[in-house]
Amino acid sequence: MDFVPLRIKTVQPDTELSFDLYIYYKDHYLCYAERGNALTTAKLEKLINQDMADFYVPEEQVDNVTLFLDEALNEAVYGEGKSLEERVDVVSEVAAQSIERMNEEASHKNYDMTQKAASGLRTVIKNNPNALKKLFGQKTKESDLIINHSINVCALATRLGEHLRFKEDEIDDLATAALLHDIGLTKLKVEDLPLFEKEATAHTPDERLRYSQHIKLSQNFLNGKDFISKRVEDLVNHHEEDLTGLGPLKVRKLTPLQECLSLCNAFDKRLIVKKESPKEAYKVFQLDYIGRYNLELIQRFEAVLVEEGLL
Ligand SMILES: [Fe+2]
Ligand SMILES: [Fe+2]
């Protein structure tokens, strides 16, 4: 039997499972909970806190999982009586799950799930003051660094996009592109992966070249799939570009959407890689990133950070 991974935090307590839940233990897949059963809050908390095992679902039941995640997402976005923490937790976990799935396979189903997660994340942030603050206050596991970075960029870019009054469909594409923008990193050679955690200005010319491969790799991975929006592909391709022309594609002119994604990416990299607080990162940004982005855009970004209580 083949298995697909499942992030345990996407499982809701006291909700009947529509699939068999397995754990991988000592080289074996063991059935932990059968379809039709539910996990209690206490049991789930224990599993999450112990962080002791990886969870899987038989591949033939993957469509049930997709439906299950759809419902969880819907409930987190629109359900009544949910705490802000629950909402943020579930939407970010479903987003993380969709990024992981896309990493595995850029299929139509996985792309749809990513779009839904991006839109869910956007709605929760829009409807709940303090949601962005909550998201940025979450602890990051080292193994989830790139995924969390992608979620943060999605949250920031959609807020900035709304502030700039981009069209609805543009913001949706921006959100999806943000979740997928670093998909090429997972395709880099293992020895090149630590380059993500090194500040771009500290890269040697050779390292810069190797790191910039992740753009080409994303492009190859997403290319030729007609269900992927051309605008999403274009945004992913340009996320490391800025107005200096020193990005991998060496372009000096960016569309407002491209510049918005690039700025949010550059900002969040400081938080994730240098472990700076939004306040600290913005201080540097204000001084060192002038010339890389339009001053007006930086100022609009500051307004968003203030509005969201991050400065
Ligand atoms: Fe990148
Ligand atoms: Fe990035």
**What is the 3-class SS of the chain, one letter each residue?**
CCEEEECHHHCCCCCCCCCCEEEEECCEEEEEECCCCCCCHHHHHHHHHHCCCEEEEEHHHHHHHHHHHHHHHHHHHHCCCCCHHHHHHHHHHHHHHHHHHHHHCCCHHHHHHHHHHHHHHHHHHHHCCCHHHHHHHCCCCHHHHHHHHHHHHHHHHHHHHHHCCCCHHHHHHHHHHHHHCCHHHHHCCHHHHHHHHCCHHHCCHHHHHHHHHHHHHHHHHHCCCCCCCHHHHHHHHCCCCCCCCCCCCCCCCCCHHHHHHHHHHHHHHHHHHCCCCHHHHHHHHHHHCECCECHHHHHHHHHHHHHCCCC
What is the residue whose two structure tokens read 């809050």? Answer: 41
Task: Please indicate whether residue 168 or residue 202 has the higher confidence score (pLDDT).
Answer: 168
Candidates 15, 156, 118, 34; CA nearest to 75 is 15
Compute the distance between CA of residue 128 and CA of residue 206 in angstroms, rounded to an integer: 44
**Tell me: the pLDDT tens digits for 84-117?**
999 999 999 999 999 999 999 999 999 999 999 9
* Averaged confidence pLDDT in the chain: 93
Q: How much is the average pLDDT of 265-270?
A: 96
Instruction: Please give the domain boundaries of the chain with CATH numbers for all domains.
Output: 1-61 (no CATH), 144-307 (1.10.3210.10)
Q: Ligand 1 centroid vs 265 CA: distance in angstroms?
A: 7
Residue 196 confidence (pLDDT) above 70: yes
Q: How much is the average pLDDT of 169-194?
A: 95
Compute the distance between CA of residue 115 and CA of residue 131 in angstroms, rounded to an integer: 19
Counting ligands in written order, the one closest to the CA of 178 is: 2
Task: Please indicate whether residue 36 or residue 50 has the higher confidence score (pLDDT).
Answer: 36
Q: Ligand 1 centroid vs 266 CA: distance in angstroms?
A: 9
Query: What is residue 1's predicted lDDT score, i.e. its pLDDT?
Result: 86
Q: Ligand 2 centroid vs 200 CA: distance in angstroms?
A: 11
Q: Ligand 2 centroid vs 148 CA: distance in angstroms?
A: 10
Q: Ligand 1 centroid vs 53 CA: distance in angstroms?
A: 30
Q: Ligand 1 centroid vs 185 CA: distance in angstroms?
A: 7
Q: Binning pLDDT at 50, 70 and 90, where does residue 137 land?
A: confident
Residue 52 confidence (pLDDT) above 70: no
Q: Ligand 2 centroid vs 30 CA: distance in angstroms?
A: 36
Compute the distance between CA of residue 118 and CA of residue 92 in angstroms, rounded to an integer: 9
Q: How much is the average pLDDT of 272-283?
A: 93
Counting ligands in written order, the one closest to the CA of 200 is: 1
Query: What is residue 107's predicted lDDT score, i.e. its pLDDT?
Result: 95
Q: Ligand 1 centroid vs 48 CA: distance in angstroms?
A: 29
Counting ligands in written order, the one closest to the CA of 188 is: 1
Query: What is residue 249's predicted lDDT score, i.e. its pLDDT?
Result: 95
Q: Ligand 2 centroid vs 277 CA: distance in angstroms?
A: 17
Query: What is residue 184's predicted lDDT score, i.e. its pLDDT?
Result: 96
Query: What is residue 139's predicted lDDT score, i.e. its pLDDT?
Result: 78
Candidates 120, 112, 141; CA nearest to 48 is 141
